[in-house]
Structure 1
Amino acid sequence: MKMQKMLGSVLALMISGQALAVQIWTTGNTANVSRTTQFGLCLAGGGSDDEWSGGWKHMLSRSGGGDVVVIRADGRRGGYESFIYSDDGNHGFQTVDSVTTILIESASDANSTQVETLVRDAEMLFFAGGDQWLYINWFRNSKLASAVSYLMTTKKVPVGGTSAGMALLAGIDYTARYLSPSPNKDLVDTADVINDPTGNFVDLDRSVITPPFMSQVVTDTHFSERDREGRLVGFMARADYNWSDISYSNIKAIASDEGTAVCIDNAGYAKVYGYGYGFFLKGNKPIERIQSGKSLDWYGGRQAVKAYVVRGSLGGAGSFNMNNWTGTGGSTEYWWVDGYNERRPRFGIN
């Protein structure tokens, strides 16, 4: 029988003899079901979920109508249960068996056996927005991270995330651990990164979750709205600086505007849903200079990074092949950072 039930404002769990308070809510059938699923990955740039509702349809159709789990780390229940289960936006979503919200508030919560079981039993998983450093710090080497990897690579269910949740689903995560080094600013921006791409505030991580097709991919969110194009190029350069298996020729990136999602199917083909743009970047020319304490110089004759840009639509636009990094239905640009003048590096688009 279908029912709406709050599984306690606080659910006491016993792990290793210690009580942990994990907040869990379920709308729908609280019993586990098993349905046939297909992998998919949706990377949303934040803002309105209604604006990329076609991407939600993409994920939900791959869930087989099973149990959906939403992970949050922002201290609240949020409204995804009614958004998905009741389709309160009237988007024509597929009916699902249940929607469960799990509020993670510590590393202990991410190592909860019950949380692990709920995630492993899910036919779809979604990460809400919030603070991506909390996701990374709490999830690293956790039972929850292991369960997420199981869902994607073994059980093959659709997984998505928005804003901080999208950042978590990169193969190379920008952690947002540090504030801007510039006075009177909180968030690290393009100027910060291209002025000092090796600074500690350009903190990247590869140790948490690596979805299929994302192993050498860094992401960014709220993209055009916050003028983050140059910031993302700096992240790509920093990845080349950090790891020996990453070079200018294999570092890649995906970015999504607000109200927009890049959704990838099980074969590695992506479409862009929503009213903004999706961006697919790949290094194109060698980096001239990335050096401690120096500004970035990645010019390459104004062709340093090749960007394929797709404008989204409600039903999904373009087709981008993650296997060979080529697309149709979009346009090609070249992005660069001219750091010849070390005190005033410039980002540009050709």
Structure 2
Amino acid sequence: MNPFFTTRSGLRSALLAAVLALTATALAAPPAAARGDRVRLGSAGDVSRSAWSGPAFTMNGDGGVVAASMRRAIDTIRGGTGTIDVVVLAGSAASSGSTTPECDSVMRLAGVNSCTTWTLTTASDGNNAQVNQDIRNAEFVYFAGGDQCRYTAWKGTSLPASVKSVVAKGGGSGGGSAGTHINSSIVYDACRGSITSDEALDDPYDSYATFTTGMFSWPHYADTINDSHFVARDRMGRLMSFAARAVKDGRTTQGRAWGVGVDEGGGSLFLDAQGKATLYGADAYIVLADHQPEKAVAGQPLTYKGFKIWHLTPGATFDFAQRPTCGYYLRSVIDGRADAGLYDGTPSAC
């Protein structure tokens, strides 16, 4: 989630603090130069192999690497033999501790030849030749947590095509928190700031509800909107609003939008080449908006009757290639007020 903005309720105090901080430092230091920092762990040379066995994807509820799903992605891509190279993309430096926390975790797993962390601070860094070479030579690209708006700024650069080339050769992509958002086909980019469920339901066209499309659409994962920290931060309402708006605005291919919310605390959705997802660590929810909303108008509360919701627990699977037509429970939003029991319902029989 974007750390440089806040929800509307906290915007005034955040702006005041920012102004004071800028005033105090403006004369003390020159502006920092934009640059890309590269740190490589493991072997200095890349693996060379004619074929890989993916693609494979991991989408985590918070920023950290989830060992179980990452291990499965590594084993899937390498086909059980040899090793792979991993690239981690971050939009800002780690706030504390190690400068390479994701690679530290990845290098503890079997089957990894190297892990390279790139910290990119401007949109133009997406055209950095060394960055793109490292990505194309890798077999898995992991987007770190932080700020998905920084990631969507790379849309017009060479970087998205480089990531797509990794998937196309049988590698994979994934991420956590902001890195989970960027791996859906419709990205809540948070470029204006983070929006709460209450705000999104009160106005699905709130100025904080901004989206980016056209970066990635992974096999069997079209028409999806990812969200993270899901239950912990009560984001069901906003994912409902996002899905309803995606249908209203014609952002989907078949008039249906699939919200995918993964909780923090080790939650990770692993997606294989056949479109079958397996959940690790913590709960997840699939939210389907499959018809036009009864009311989705700028400045007015949302009304949408009959969201279909699948509640997944660790070990559960969900087939994105053959998306199910049963096993869900129904919840509605009327004039911005959601039904009770959003996270717990009795599923329909299959």
TM-score (norm 1): 0.80
What pairs with 1:34-113 in structure 2 (closer than 5 Å)?
34-35=48-49, 36-37=51-52, 38-46=54-62, 48-49=64-65, 52-64=66-78, 65-76=83-94, 77-85=99-107, 87=108, 93-113=109-129
> Match of 1:208, SS?
coil
Shift of 1:241: 2.4
Q: How does 1:142-181 map to 2 (within 5 A)?
A: 142-152=157-167, 154-179=168-193
Asked if the contact 1:69–1:119 (Cα under 8 Å) also holds between the matched residues in 2, the reply is yes
Within 5 Å, give how 1:150-229 maps onto structure 2. 150-152=165-167, 154-179=168-193, 187-229=194-236
AA in 1 matched with 2:304: W
| In 1, Cα distance between equivalents of 2:240 and 2:203 | 12
Q: 1:118 corresponds to which letter in structure 2?
A: D
- 1:290-309 matches, within 5 Å, as 290-299=296-305, 304-309=306-311
> Quick one: distance in 2 between partners of 1:175 and 1:197?
15
Q: Structure 1 208/47 Cα, relative in aligned 2: closer, same or farther at 3 Å?
A: closer
Contact between 1:309 and 1:332, CA under 8 Å: does it hold in 2? Answer: yes
Q: Distance in 2 between the 1:174 and 1:21 partners?
A: 26
CA-CA distance at 1:246 after TM superposition? 5.2
1:333 aligns with 2:329: yes
1:207-286 superposed matches below 5 A? 207-243=214-250, 245=252, 249-258=255-264, 259-274=266-281, 276-286=282-292
Question: Structure 1 residue 213: deviation in Å?
Answer: 2.1
CA contact (8 A) 1:308 1:327 kept: no
**Hey, what does 1:26 align to over in structure 2?**
40
Q: What RMSD, in angstroms, separates the aligned Cα atoms of the two structures? A: 2.1
Partner-residue secondary structure (3-state), 1:226: coil
Secondary structure at 2:36's aligned position in 1? strand
Cα distance change, pair 323–266 in 1 and its aligned pair in 2 (3 A) = same
AA matched with 1:207: G
Counterpart CA distance in 2 for 1:323 and 1:80 is 30
Deviation at 1:285, TM superposition (A): 4.7
In 1: Cα distance, 2:215 partner to 2:330 partner: 31
Aligned partner letter, 1:337: V
Q: Letter of the 2:237 partner, please give it.
A: G
Percent of aligned positions with the same letter in both sequences? Answer: 24
| Aligned partner of residue 42 in structure 1, secondary structure | strand
Contact 1:68–1:122, Cα closer than 8 Å, also in 2: yes
CA deviation vs aligned residue, 1:259-301 (integer Å, no higher than 9, x gap): 2011110011010011x212122224541111121110002xx
Give the structure 1 partner of residue 136 of structure 2. 120
Deviation at 1:307, TM superposition (A): 1.2
Q: 1:265 to 1:177 in 2, by over 3 A?
A: same
Mapped partners of 1:255, 1:63: distance in 2: 25
Secondary structure at the residue paired with 1:224? Answer: coil
State the Cα distance separating 1:243 from its structure 2 match: 2.2
Cα gap change, 1:127 to 1:244, in 2 (>3 Å):
closer
How many residues of Structure 1 are paired with residues of Structure 2 in the alignment? Answer: 299
Structure 2: distance between partners of 1:244 and 1:310: 26
Q: Which amino acid aligns with 2:203?
A: D
Deviation at 1:156, TM superposition (A): 2.0
In structure 2, C-alpha distance between the alignment counterparts of 1:204 and 1:267, rounded to whole Å: 27
Superposed displacement of residue 27, structure 1? 0.9
**Structure 1 or 2: larger strand share?**
1
Give 1:346 deviation, angstroms: 3.0
Contact 1:129–1:165 at 8 Å: present in 2 too?
yes
User: Alpha-carbon deviation of 1:234?
Assistant: 0.2
Partner amino acid, structure 2, of 1:200? S
Aligned-partner Cα distance in 2 for 1:48–1:144: 22
1:189-218 deviation digits (Å, cap 9, x = unpaired)? 101001000122111111222222222111
Amino acid at match of 1:335: R
Query: Quick one: distance in 2 between partners of 1:279 and 1:266?
Result: 21
1:58 Cα shift?
1.1
CA drift at 1:71 = 0.8
Does the residue aligned with 2:133 lie in a helix, a strand or coil? helix
Distance 1:244 1:151, change over 3 A: closer
Deviates more, 1:283-292 or 1:125-134: 283-292
Residue aligning to 2:12 = none
TM-score by length of 2: 0.80
